[in-house]
A and B are shown apart, each in its own frame.
Chain A
Amino acid sequence: MSQVSMTVNGKSASGEVEGRTLLVEFLRENLSLTGTHVGCDTSQCGACVVHVDGKAVKACTMFAAEAEGADVRTIEGMANDDGSLGTIQQAFQDHHGLQCGFCTPGMVMSAAALLSENPNPSEAEIRDYLEGNICRCTGYHNIIKAIMAAAGQDVSGIAAE
């Protein structure tokens, strides 16, 4: 066991971990930040996406020890300071971009990373960027629409409401 320390959602966090402890396990089990989910064991599904030093990372692909000193942001850190939903979160609610909610934290974190890299992505760019995030409920329609809306695009012409 060794000690690991990092900043998570703006607060310092530390704990004892085994060498094999994954970042996602540290977040969920040591810090009880259970918003980050585990949907697979092959780094395919994207339910565990968090931001590490500003970049989207699948938290199952990194050991907790590798995040020593890092600035980590999870879904729990995405709302506004007053507790209201952030722009992307609000767009997901407004456009029904989630159903069971299990993939949602990863989707929101990936969307946030995309929009910070590319503030006005096309539909094709969004679909391509979400290649590593699987959703089984929505058929992706309303996720794409929500991200376009969060980017400030007019989505009223997209079929169905």
Chain B
Amino acid sequence: MPADGGIGAATARREDVRFLTGVGNYTDDINLRGQAYVHFLRSDVAHGTLNSVDTSAADGMPGVLRIFTGADFAEVGGLPCGWQVTDRHGEVMQEPAHPVLAQGKVRHVGDPIAAIVAETREQARDAAEAIEVDIDDLPAVIDMKAALEDGAPKVHDDLTSNLCYDWGFVEENKGAVDEAFANAAHVTTLELVNQRLVANPMEPRVAVGDYNRGTDDSTLYTTSQNPHVIRLLMGAFVLGIPEHKLRVVAPDVGGGFGSKIFHYAEEAFCTFAAKALNRPVKWTSSRSEAFMTDAHGRDHVTKIELALDADNNFTALRTDTHANMGAYLSTFAPSVPTWLHGTLMAGNYKTPLIYVNVKAVFTNTVPVDAYRGAGRPEATFQLERVIDKAARELGVDPIALRRQNFVTEFPYATPVAVEYDTGDYVATMDKLEEIADLSGFDARLAESQAKGKLRGLGINCYIEACGIAPSNLVGQLGARAGLYESATVRVNATGGITVMTGSHSHGQGHETAFPQVVADMIGIDASMIEIEHGDTANTPMGMGTYGSRSLAVGGSAMVRATEKIINKAKKIAAHLMEAADADIELKDGQFSVAGTDKSVAWGDVTLAAYVPHNYPLEEIEPGLEETAFYDPANFTYPAGAYACEVEVDPDTGKVTIERFSAADDFGNIVNPMIVDGQVHGGIGQGIGQALLESCVYDESGQLLSGSYMDYAMPRADDVPFYVVDHSCQTPCTHNPLGVKGCGEAGAIGSPPAVVNAVVDALQRAGHGVTHIDMPLSPSRVWQAMQG
């Protein structure tokens, strides 16, 4: 491991100092002069006709500046959807309008009806109490299958039904897949639920709109993972503000996990209202509000079938999934159950024939969109669960069955349209067996049994597609955006560097890891490099951070820009040393002429660039600043193998995680400390899904799990120390860093390991349990044990 702060060093994070001393700058810490506050009056029914909103009693209340309703937004665009899916019949998805404030109907608990802007937060809240809302309740549709029945109430009256799309993938393979099932020696079938989750970054969303009447400039401070995307979506599609008159700032952001990718109504409202009132307008979500307004995650109901031949080779896979869209299409919602899910159904295995059917459904619930992993956890969970079930039905070792079917030659083109560039699934499984001490399991089992506990071991593999994605490819698949990333490298006269990236850090440590890369390339100390991100005013157009893409795509853009810098700097150095450009070498921050003892330092060259007295002005411009946009050639394909050991209390059904081990292949690693932390966090969330978390609606559409009192977040005593390893490294072949991305792996790979382990524990104790739906709460496990 290098100790010089370059690539591969476990450099401590520089951003920690401000977070540890209380001087971070989160959006809610921003208070502008003359700021007013908005409180949203939200629907408390899931579905209803909005007859009237009477604000007359509230208008004159103390501090009230103005009350807005849907009518104020009649001339304003709705919130746009960024991905259009085409269904198996060649039809484009049904795409309903999504107004900023409700117009005509309310469609989920939490749908905003009115927005009260007042001098203080408390005055706004008080005035909301005085607004009279007349709603005729309509029957709500909550269950997806019920929503598709003939005569079901429609969430959107102007759509033909609650079906958003019926997607088949790969449609042309369907016949061959069905035939393979007809000829199979064994078929394993599993029906399961991947439950609805709430992302719950610890920082609730906040938006502060500002407007300058003197310049006609609008500014939005917001808790976003991708400020440029918000600027584009809100400016172009909602408010009609051109990008050069709109600045979006996402300062320190307290976690995102996907939920802060999307453009939300509150952002558009605060920007709109700031101009309407000529005052800054601030909104701070409460946690209760977050539960009913942040886009939720997962919520798939799936039937998966695996066909095997007489030698236990996988011959075909067939899935049928209902995916909940909620009441409106959130920004990237349609892509999650389709292109981020269906394309991953091959997993780590050479199954030759795969068919995936996904019906996306509107219901009277909060919109569902990407949450850490986004489609890939859903794919991994069903695949790894059905393989485990097949192993048990066939009486074969689940690890051996997986190994037998591993993809072993790369590149590998799957039958679901993607091509894995590199991987070594045998190596990660070998590593897992070592770090998880699988050979010691029997002894640990005996110890648990001696205590009167059941013990089980669960294994699974995962693969994910990260670094989204080639723009031309995703354009063909329905994306309404490009998915490149950008970087500007600005070298200052005295040699220090500012890198302006379109990526955004909200916990990932860009400010530490990105300088390690540039430091390594130039051979200077990482402390000479600073990262700017999160402000559209001083960073190039970027697509932001999600899908484990920052280093693979944003880092690649930074590498390309730094290469341009080095090329130009070499020309300057050649001039200073009166040598040919081709003879200049750069090492440890020194430019030298090959084969001579002539050299000039990095600082000499950067100074010459800005004080160009002795400079090749006829050949190159002064200054040293370069920008690059990087559009990836392919996805990256991190993969790994995970093991979980649980104890189950036979009297109560309580599951405890005794050991959790993860062997990941992320390709090259820039900062192993940060990578470990990303995996830890992902595993924590995956254990949360497996054992604790569940977003629950009742039949009338009331959100029962609406706060931390009812939604079980994993806490420190719910999880163990994890054993993580990323020494298996097959570098990505198509990005300059050879990196694959590590942000989502833990959340993708861990839920099936936990469930496989619990089923193993129960089966070892003689229970005929083949599946339990998550979360594996004590009551569910206990009931399963009762048969």
A binds B: yes
Task: List chain A positions with a Cβ less than 8 A from chain B.
Answer: 18, 20, 28-29, 33-42, 44-45, 47, 74-76, 78-79, 85, 89, 92-94, 96, 98-105, 108, 123-124, 126-128, 130-131, 133-145, 158-161
Q: Are A160 and B724 in contact (CB under 8 A)?
A: yes
Q: Closest residue to B709 on the A side, CB-wise?
A: A42
CB 8 Å contact bits of B677-688 with A (1 = contact, 0 = none) = 100111111010
Evaluate contact between A36 and B22: CB separation under 8 angstroms: yes
- B253 interface residue per 8 A CB criterion: yes
B719 contacts across to A, CB distance below 8 A: 139-141
Contact A18 B677 (CB under 8 A): no
User: Of B13, B26, B31, B680, which is within 8 A of A139 by CB?
Assistant: B680
- The 4 nearest A-B residue pairs measured at CB: A35-B22, A139-B684, A101-B19, A102-B254
**In the assembly, what is the distance between CA of A139 and CA of B507, in Å?**
13
Instruction: Please determine whether A101 and B16 come into contact, CB atoms closer than 8 angstroms.
Output: yes
Q: Which residue on A lies nearest to B16, using beta carbons?
A: A93
Cβ of B22 and Cβ of A75 under 8 Å apart?
yes
Selected contact of B722 from candidates A33, A35, A94, A160, CB within 8 Å: A160
**Chain B, Cβ-Cβ closest to A141:** B680
Min CB distance A16 to B, Å, is 13
Which of chain B's residues 203-257 have a Cβ closer than 8 Å to chain A? 203-204, 252-255, 257
Residue of B whose beta carbon sits closest to that of A143: B716
A78 neighbours in B (Cβ, 8 Å): 20-22
**Chain A residues, CB < 8 A from B717:** 124, 127-128, 130-131
29 contacts between A and B (CB under 8 A): A20-B122, A28-B29, A35-B21, A35-B22, A37-B203, A37-B254, A38-B28, A41-B287, A76-B23, A79-B21, A85-B17, A89-B21, A96-B13, A99-B255, A99-B507, A100-B255, A101-B19, A103-B254, A104-B19, A104-B20, A133-B715, A135-B202, A136-B202, A137-B681, A138-B680, A139-B681, A139-B719, A140-B714, A159-B721
CB contacts (< 8 Å) of B722 on chain A: these are 139, 141, 159-160
CA distance A156 to B288 in the complex (A): 40
> In the complex, which residue of chain B has the Cβ closest to the Cβ of A90?
B20
Give A140 to B657 CA distance when docked, in angstroms: 14
Chain B nearest Cβ from A13, distance in angstroms:
15
Q: Are A137 and B507 in contact (CB under 8 A)?
A: yes
- Chain B residue with minimal CB distance to A94? B12
A47 to B26, CA, bound (A): 13
Task: Name the CB-closest residue of A to B25.
Answer: A34
CB within 8 A of A101: which of B252, B680, B681? B252
* The one of A34, A94, A102 that contacts B203, using a Cβ cutoff of 8 Å: A102
Answer whether A158 and B721 are a contact pair too, CB < 8 Å, given A100-B254, A139-B683.
Answer: yes
Closest A residue to B22 by CB, please name it. A35
- Pick out which of these stretches binds chain A: B58-66, B296-304, B668-676: B668-676
Contact A137:B255 (CB < 8 A) given known A93-B12, A102-B201: yes
Question: Closest A-chain residue to B713, C-beta based?
Answer: A134
Tell me if B374 is interfacial: C-beta within 8 Å of chain A.
no
CB distance from A80 to the nearest CB of B (A): 11
- B residues in contact with A37, CB < 8 Å: 26, 28, 202-203, 254
Give the residue of A34, A128, A136 whose beta carbon is less than 8 angstroms from that of B201: A136
How far is B21's CA from A74's CA once the two chains are assembled, in angstroms? 9
Task: Please judge, given known A-B contacts A18-B122, A20-B122, whether A35 and B23 are in contact too, CB under 8 Å.
Answer: yes
Q: CA separation between A36 and B23, bound complex, in Å?
A: 10
| Residue of A with least CB distance to B723 | A159
| Contacting residues, chain A, for B506 (C-beta < 8 A) | 100
Using Cβ atoms and an 8 Å threshold, which residues of chain B touch A36? 22
A76 to B507, CA, bound (A): 20
Instruction: Select B20's contact among A108, A128, A131, A161, beta carbons within 8 Å.
Output: A108
**Nearest opposing residue in chain A for B286, CB measure:** A41
Interface string of B296-323 (1 = CB under 8 A from A): 0000000000000000000000000000
Interface centre among A85, A98, A159 (most CB of B within 10 A): A159
Determine the residue in chain A with the shortest Cβ distance to B21.
Answer: A79
Return chain B residues, CB-CB under 8 Å to A145: 721
Query: For residue A35, which residues in chain B have a CB less than 8 angstroms away from its CB?
Result: 21-24
Are B202 and A39 within 8 A (Cβ)?
yes
Does B680 contact A44, Cβ atoms closer than 8 Å? Answer: no
Interface string of B696-715 (1 = CB under 8 A from A): 00000000000111000111
| A128 smallest CB distance to B (angstroms) | 6
CB-CB nearest in chain A for B717: A127
Other 12 A-B pairs with CB < 8 A, given A98-B19, A139-B687: A38-B204, A41-B288, A45-B287, A89-B20, A92-B20, A99-B255, A101-B18, A134-B713, A136-B200, A136-B685, A138-B684, A139-B681
Closest B residue, CB atoms, query A41:
B286
- Which has the most chain B C-beta neighbours within 10 Å: A28, A44, A92? A44
- The answer to whether B746 has its CB under 8 Å from any CB of chain A is yes
B677 near A96 (CB under 8 angstroms)?
yes
Chain B residues contacting A158 (CB-CB under 8 Å) are 721
Q: Is the CB of B708 within 8 A of A101?
A: no
What residues of chain A lie closer than 8 Å to B286, measured between beta carbons?
Answer: 40-41
Q: How far is the CB of A43 from chain B (nearest CB, A)?
A: 9
Which residue of chain A lies nearest to B19 when distances are taken between CB atoms in the complex?
Answer: A101
A42 surroundings in chain B (CB, below 8 A) = 287-288, 707-709
Q: Is B10 close to A, CB under 8 A?
A: yes
* CB of B621 to closest CB in A, whole Å: 40
Residue of B508, B707, B725 near A99 (CB, 8 A) is B508
Interface residues of B in 632-691 (CB under 8 A from A): 672-674, 676-677, 680-685, 687
Query: Are B672's CB and A40's CB within 8 A?
Result: no
Q: Which residues of A contact B677 (CB under 8 A)?
A: 96, 99, 137-138, 141-142
CA A75 to CA B719, docked complex, whole Å: 26
Interface flags, B711-751, vs A, CB<8A=1, else 0: 00111110101111100000000000000000000100000
Taking the complex as formed, is B509 at the interface, i.e. its CB lies under 8 A from any CB of chain A?
A: yes
A38-B204 Cα distance, complex, nearest whole Å: 8
**Cβ-based interface call for B54 (8 A):** no
Residue B15 CB within 8 A of the other chain: yes
Contact A34 B29 (CB under 8 A): yes
Answer whether A136 and B255 are a contact pair too, CB < 8 Å, given A42-B287, A100-B201.
yes
Q: Are A105 and B715 within 8 A (Cβ)?
A: no
Q: Which of A33, A144, A161 contacts B716 (CB 8 A)?
A: A144
Measured between beta carbons, the chain A residues less than 8 angstroms from B714 are: 139-140
Q: How far, in Å, is A25 (CB) from chain B's closest CB?
A: 9
User: When the two chains form the complex, which single residue of B22, B24, B122, B708 contacts A45, counting CB atoms closer than 8 Å?
Assistant: B708
A138–B682 Cα distance when bound, in Å, is: 8
Min C-beta distance of B314 to chain A, whole Å: 32
Residues of A within 8 A of B509 (CB): 99
B720 nearest CB neighbor, chain A only:
A141
Residue contact A127 to B254, C-beta cutoff 8 Å: no
A100 to B253, CA, bound (A): 7
The residues of B that contact A34 with a CB separation of less than 8 Å are 22, 26, 28-29
Which of chain A's residues have a CB closer than 8 A to the CB of B288? 41-42
Q: Which chain A residues lie closer than 8 Å to B708 at the CB level?
A: 40, 42, 44-45, 134
Interface centre among B22, B200, B707 (most CB of A within 10 A): B22
